[in-house]
Amino acid sequence: MAKNKNNRLPIYAVIFTVTFKLLFLLTHYIQEDAFITWRVAQNLLDYGVIGFNGETKISASTTHLYVFVSYFFNLIFGKEHFVEPLLIFNSILFTIGTLFLAHLTLKNPWHKAVFIFLVGILPPSIKISILGMEYGILFFLEMALLYYGFSKGKKWALILLPVLIMFTRIDTIIFLGIVFLVDAFWNRKIRWNYVFGGILGLIWTLSFNWLYFGELVNNTIVAKKLLYEHHFTFAQNLKYFFISFGNFWGMLKLPGNFNPVTIIILIFELLCFIYLIRQRDKRNYFLWMIFIFGWAKQIIFISQKSLFDWYYWVPQLLLFVPVLIFVLEQKEKRNVWLSLLVVFYILPMTLFQTIHSIATGNGEWNYRRKIGLFLNTYEKDKNQWILLEPAGYVPYFSGLKAIDEVGLVDKQIQTEIKKDKPHYWINTVKNRKPKYLLSYKNLFEGDDTEYYQTHYQLLKEFRIKDHLKSDSKILEKIYHFKPSGTDYNLYVRIK
């Protein structure tokens, strides 16, 4: 009886961890890009088209599977009430993924339970669960593949899960490829079911893109590459690397380029990994998979100048797994090791993420969302266009058609970028004549001032300093300690 109760401990840990993380829903910290995916899902609901602006097809979201999941949540719960159920669903799936990972790397039920909770409250885990991105589903699918496909040897998992994984994000070919290489090297044979699943996933995703959108890869990838592509010298590449350094192993971005916390964690992760793989244990098979993937994903993405921190959430977690295993399996002074880890790392990280979530939630939900709500009330004609960046909160809550500066949700601006990149913004304004412009800059100063003053008038200024107040003195201190948001000027076209 006692053994059965202990075996249920990891399940109890999943329930407790999910419940604990739901407190972060109160911060209203939702990633801007989540609203792009949700708008695409609602566009599918309203127009029967995967797009962003009415009946125009465009792969504005980086993830197809999550678009369909979001579509069903909108269908079931309605547009006004789907967000919280979807975030809870994401959190549950992610935490079940950590359960699979615990089963792959640990034997003791108590160790698994502690592992699930400690992984679950790290900053990337909280963001994966609560910020509305597709990584909760993705992490669940990837860990399910390792657990059911490579640990349990289920053929259905080896065929079906690669298809779902790649349909979630096409860049998961990195994960699938690393898993294949480690498995083939470790077992000295090829799992042809897995090869078939991978080929099927690639064919399915590329075919869907080509047949539906007329493109092989998602528009988001094409648009970012087009706008952000630069030719850097070695010195510039090195500077770029240090700017991105906090995205790698540290989970914590500190001001400046030098981050001692990141370096300490990097060294400790490597030492723990080396210590564990020196032991003769079949779980090393999975440790090699997740550790090589963590490094490969980060190196590939930083080489492509990918600064967005969500690309690094899953690698950050997987690279930290050896540290948790090392601490939990210490036979002598385990409690001392665990206490040191919790006091000097887990708790500070959780506190940091709490402050970050509260401050950023204020900047996004209480500030940027209100710009969209203002426009929703002010402009009743939802066929009017707004040119802005980014295309998340404001288009979603205003209901207006949108042209974003990068071209994620509107392909026509990419044509202007190709023709005349330095002047694509003003050329888009002249050619498309959007009714609204939302800009970080004062358009009545600098280049093209005369055109803007002739054709547009300032409608409203939005300033982040006006949203750093709260009836709670603690919240107000957090808002001022880490102000989040950008000043905007909203312009309306003169008739």
Note the pLDDT tens digit of each residue in 379-409: 999 999 999 988 889 999 999 999 998 888 8
- The pLDDT score that the predictor gives to residue 130 is 92
Asked if 314 contacts 135 with a C-beta cutoff of 8 angstroms, the reply is: yes
Task: Report the chain's mean pLDDT, rounded to a whole number.
Answer: 89
Strands 488-493 and 436-439: antiparallel
- The pLDDT score that the predictor gives to residue 266 is 84
Asked if 67 contacts 50 with a C-beta cutoff of 8 angstroms, the reply is: yes
Name the least confident of 16-20, 29-33, 196-200, 236-240: 236-240
pLDDT digits (tens, 9 = 90+) for 261-280: 777 888 889 999 999 999 87
pLDDT digits (tens, 9 = 90+) for 201-258: 999 999 999 999 988 888 888 887 777 666 667 776 777 676 666 655 555 555 555 5
- The pLDDT score that the predictor gives to residue 421 is 86
Mean pLDDT within 64-82: 95
- Please report, to the nearest 10 degrees, the dihedral formed by the alpha carbons of residues 370, 371, 372, 378 taken in order: 100
Give CA–CA dist 429/413, Å, rounded: 10
Report which DSSP code applies to 233: -
Q: How far is CA 330 from the centre of its chain?
A: 34
Give CA–CA dist 325/76, Å, rounded: 40
| Most confident range, picked from 246-250, 289-293, 300-304, 359-363 | 289-293
- The pLDDT score that the predictor gives to residue 207 is 94
Listed by start position, the domains of the chain span: 359-493
Task: State in Å, rounded, how far the first CA of the chain is from the last one.
Answer: 78
Q: In angstroms, what CA-CA distances link 131 with 90, 168, 270, 472?
A: 9, 17, 29, 24
What share of the chain has pLDDT > 90, as a percent?
61
154, with CB counted inside 10 A (0-12, 13-18, 19+), is middle
What share of the chain has pLDDT > 70, as a percent?
93
> Cβ of 56: how many Cβ atoms within 10 Å?
16
Mean pLDDT within 128-144: 95
Encoded tokens for 188: 């000295």
Mean pLDDT within 443-458: 90
Name the least confident of 70-74, 352-356, 430-434: 352-356
- Asked if the model's pLDDT at residue 2 lies above 60, the reply is no
Mean pLDDT within 38-63: 92
